[in-house]
């Protein structure tokens, strides 16, 4: 396994170390996971549309919409009613 040096601000390192400690993981493990996620996303900041789980969720929504088309069912309305009952 290779090593490399990264320079980051002290307060950011404190944040990294606190998160690693809270999750009972090493700093290296936390950084590796963050880099893995970044590389999987293709380096797009904030754009999650290319992620497999997001693509699948959109596909499920599209299929459900087609099935319910013309039925009078409104998912938005159902969510509003649920939200109103909770709050």
Residues 19 and 58 in one domain: no
Residues 58 and 41 in one domain: no
Domain count, the chain: 2
Residues 32 and 58 in one domain: no
Mean per-residue pLDDT of the chain: 87
Q: Which of 38, 3, 31, 4 is CA-nearest to residue 17?
A: 31
Residues 70 and 36 in one domain: no
Backbone phi, then psi, for 64, in 5-degree steps?
-65, -40
The CATH number of whichever domain residue 40 belongs to comes to: 1.10.1220
pLDDT at 17: 94
Residues 54 and 31 in one domain: no
Residues 14 and 33 in one domain: yes
Our CA angle for 23, 26, 28, nearest 5°, is: 125
pLDDT at 43: 66
Q: What is the mean pLDDT of residues 47-68?
A: 86
pLDDT per position as a tens digit, 24-51: 999 999 999 999 988 887 766 677 788 8
């Amino acid at each position: 396994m290779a090593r490399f040096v990264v320079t980051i601000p002290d307060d950011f390192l404190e944040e990294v170390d606190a998160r690693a400690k809270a999750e009972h993981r090493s700093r290296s493990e936390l950084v590796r996971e963050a880099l893995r996620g970044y590389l999987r996303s293709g380096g797009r900041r904030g754009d999650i549309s290319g992620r497999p789980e997001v693509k699948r969720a959109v596909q499920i929504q599209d299929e459900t919409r087609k099935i319910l088309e013309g039925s009078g069912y409104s998912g938005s309305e159902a969510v509003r009613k649920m939200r109103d009952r909770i709050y």
